[in-house]
């Protein structure tokens, strides 16, 4: 345990994006500090038309922000000059306006709202810099993915119990307070590096058959969207993370366990694809280029709804994945294929 009085900067060592080079497995992972220090829920990388690197991240906390990083140079040129594109660029934060449009605000010392701040100040205290810049507080922004051909990004906002009290209702966070979360998109006119964006709400989560939830889902109900994945075909995969203390109870009574759904991005029709083991989160998804094999993560099955498990009875809430005769529950990766060998989701 570290004494914070003796090491007051200990906390600053954490909550960074770390890059590992898969082509050099013995290399040392590198913290990409230019992407900012906050509660990153992933880092989605998109290449712009000229080769600039664009990275989007959600800050997974109620009332926090969506960020974007843009490299100063195309990545090939940067490497030729001995620069890493994730070290040499500009960090931004999103601000949404009442008309549905928004802007990426630069988090740089040149921004008048950050007068007196250094680059080091900004990357270490990115949340504070975003506060001063006047960004839009979001409802727990989590995963982000893109529809590359449409210059459109999509992000999950899990939920927010403080919307309408601590944080005002706005165009991008239109319900207050609510436990179900929603999914938003933002689009660019010509390229990922543009500072102007057009926002839209893809779906307000909840139960579309229950008017009290104010859901706009076209299809099967879900809440607390977390994972989001755009398959090569354009099919949209949505994963949920309802907390163990809330699964199938209270506002989530009748929703069942956490689940994964598939949505048509054009019609927005959404269908449940699978449900997870008891008290687990569905998180992590990847599909092969031919979309015939899918990998899905099952996290913390059997977690006690109270958050405190009984070591003497580890299988009280779940026996995943080995069954009653097996070992204690544990996180797993499942592999899914169709019986006919065809593309998943077809």
pLDDT in tens, 183-203: 999 999 999 999 999 999 999
Domain ranges of the chain: 37-275
Other C-beta atoms lying within 10 Å of the C-beta of residue 80: 10
pLDDT in tens, 213-237: 999 999 999 999 999 999 999 999 9
pLDDT in tens, 74-88: 999 999 999 999 999
For residue 288, the model assigns a pLDDT of 98
**Pair type for strands 89-96 and 101-106:** antiparallel
Give the model's confidence band at 11: pLDDT under 50 very low, under 70 low, under 90 confident, else very high.
Answer: confident
For residue 158, the model assigns a pLDDT of 97
At residue 75, φ and ψ (nearest 5 deg) are -65, -35
pLDDT in tens, 123-144: 999 999 999 999 999 999 999 9
pLDDT in tens, 240-288: 999 999 999 999 999 999 999 999 999 999 999 999 999 999 999 999 9
Other C-beta atoms lying within 10 Å of the C-beta of residue 290: 12
For residue 178, the model assigns a pLDDT of 86
Give the model's confidence band at 1: pLDDT under 50 very low, under 70 low, under 90 confident, else very high.
Answer: low
Q: Is the pLDDT of residue 113 over 90?
A: yes
Question: In this predicted structure, which of 5-9, 45-49, 93-97 has the lowest mean pLDDT?
Answer: 5-9
For residue 2, the model assigns a pLDDT of 63
Percentage of the chain modeled with pLDDT above 70: 99
Whether omega before 94 lies within 30 degrees of 0, making that bond cis, reads no
Torsion (CA) 170, 176, 178, 181 in degrees, nearest 10: 0
**Cβ-Cβ contacts under 8 Å for 192 (sequence gap 6 or more):** 46, 47, 48, 49, 52, 54, 70, 146, 151
Q: Is the pLDDT of residue 3 over 80?
A: no
Q: Which of 236, 180, 173, 239 is nearest to 207 (CA)?
A: 180
Q: How far apart are CA 231 and CA 250, in angstroms?
A: 33
For the chain, how big is the Rg over CA atoms in Å? 21
At residue 122, φ and ψ (nearest 5 deg) are -70, -45
- As a whole number, mean pLDDT of residues 315-324 equals 93
Other C-beta atoms lying within 10 Å of the C-beta of residue 265: 16
SS3 labels along the chain: CCCCCCCCCHHHHCCCCEECCCCCCCCCCEECHHHCCCCECCCEEEECCCCEEEEEEEECCEEECEEEEEEEEEHHHHHHCCCCCCCCEEEEEEEECCCCEEEEEECCCCCHHHCCCCHHHHHHCHHHHHHHHCCCCEECEEEEEEEHHHCEEEEEECCECCECCCECCECCECCCCECCCEEEEEECCCCCCCCEEEEEEEEECECCCCHHHCCCCEECCECCEEEEEECCCCCEEEEECCCCCCCCCHHHCCCCCCEEEEECCCCCEEEEEEECCCCCEEEEEEECCCCCCEEEEEECCCCCCCCCCCCCCCCCCCCCCCCCCCCCCCCEEEEECCCCCCCCCC
Where do we find the tokens 């497995």? 25
Q: How far apart are CA 91 and CA 298, in angstroms?
A: 33
For residue 12, the model assigns a pLDDT of 84
């Amino acid at each position: 345990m570290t004494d914070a009085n003796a090491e007051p900067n200990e906390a600053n060592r954490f909550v960074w994006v770390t890059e590992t080079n898969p082509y050099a497995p013995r290399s040392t992972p590198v913290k990409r500090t230019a992407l900012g220090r906050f509660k990153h829920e992933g880092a989605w990388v998109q290449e712009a038309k000229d080769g600039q690197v664009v990275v989007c991240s959600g800050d997974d906390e109620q009332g926090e922000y969506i960020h974007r990083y843009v490299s100063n140079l195309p990545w090939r040129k940067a490497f030729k000059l001995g620069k890493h594109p994730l070290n040499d660029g500009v960090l931004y934060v999103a601000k949404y306006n009442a008309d549905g449009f928004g802007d990426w605000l630069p988090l740089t010392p040149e921004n008048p709202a950050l007068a007196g701040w250094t680059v080091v100040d900004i990357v270490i205290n990115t949340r504070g810099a975003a506060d001063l810049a006047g960004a839009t507080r979001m409802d727990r922004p989590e995963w982000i993915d893109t529809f590359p051909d449409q210059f459109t990004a999509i992000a999950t906002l899990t939920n927010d119990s403080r919307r309408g009290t601590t944080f005002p209702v706005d165009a991008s966070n239109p319900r207050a307070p609510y436990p179900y979360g929603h999914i938003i998109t933002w689009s660019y006119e010509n390229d990922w590096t543009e500072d102007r964006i057009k926002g839209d709400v893809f779906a307000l989560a909840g139960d579309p058959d229950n008017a009290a939830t104010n859901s706009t889902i076209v299809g099967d109900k879900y809440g607390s969207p977390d994972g989001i994945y755009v398959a090569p075909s354009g099919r949209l995969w949505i994963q949920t993370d309802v907390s163990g203390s809330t699964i199938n109870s209270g506002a989530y009574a009748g929703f069942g366990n956490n689940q994964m759904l598939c949505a048509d991005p054009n019609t927005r029709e959404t269908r449940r694809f699978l449900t997870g083991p008891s008290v687990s989160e569905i998180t992590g998804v990847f599909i092969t280029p031919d979309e015939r094999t899918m990998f899905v993560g099952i996290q913390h099955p059997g977690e006690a709804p109270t958050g405190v498990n009984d070591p003497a009875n580890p299988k009280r809430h779940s026996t995943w994945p080995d069954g009653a005769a097996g070992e204690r529950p544990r996180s797993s990766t499942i592999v899914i294929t169709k019986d006919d060998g065809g593309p998943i989701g077809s």
